[in-house]
Structure 1
Amino acid sequence: MSERQNPEAAIKDPDEWVTGDEPTTAAQESYLGTLAREAGEEIPDGLTKAEAAKKIEELQERTGRGGTSR
């Protein structure tokens, strides 16, 4: 099955991202803020893209917003 037929096959671990050490994107920051408010949690400043992606996944599971799990 190709990646087009199985979109989950295209999902890379954030630790393997070439740009994972770059600062978070505006979209990540916005979504993290929403999830953090729902979870009653503070998000530390200075997260990288990879760290933000992991935190998003964690908070999605805690808040029930996660679409699919890996």
Structure 2
Amino acid sequence: MTDSNTSSTSGTDEVLGADAGNTTEKDPQDWVTGDEPMTGAQKSYLDTLARDAGETLSADLTKAEASAEIERLQGKTDRG
């Protein structure tokens, strides 16, 4: 019996999600697109986090800067 959540069709042992160990996670400063403007999703989430934290942030952050602010504010607001 195979659990459909853990089956693999490619024959590799690679996993995504909770058991992946984040081995491919890059520092946002090393992202190829890190200097591009933050995404709409980042902007929306940062707006929510900043409001919860009682902070005001610049709306012209890069993707890398937005990622760093998200991590910081998640810790401050216990949303991470």
Q: TM-score, normalised by structure 1?
A: 0.84
What is the identity percentage for the equivalent residue pairs of Structure 1 and Structure 2? 57
Q: Which has the larger radius of gyration?
A: 2
SS, match of residue 79 in structure 2: coil
1:46-70 per-position Cα deviation (integer Å, ceiling 9, x unaligned): 100000000000000000000xxxx
TM-aligned CA distance change 1:19 to 1:3, over 3 Å: farther
After TM superposition, where is structure 1 displaced by more than 3 Å over at least 4 residues in a row? none
Structure 2 unaligned spans of 5+: 1-12
1:33 has 2:54 as partner: no
Structure 1 residue 7 displacement after superposition: 4.2
Q: TM-score, normalised by structure 2?
A: 0.74
Structure 1 unaligned spans of 5+: none
Q: Relative contact order (alpha carbons < 8 A, sep ≥ 6): 1 or 2 greater?
A: 1
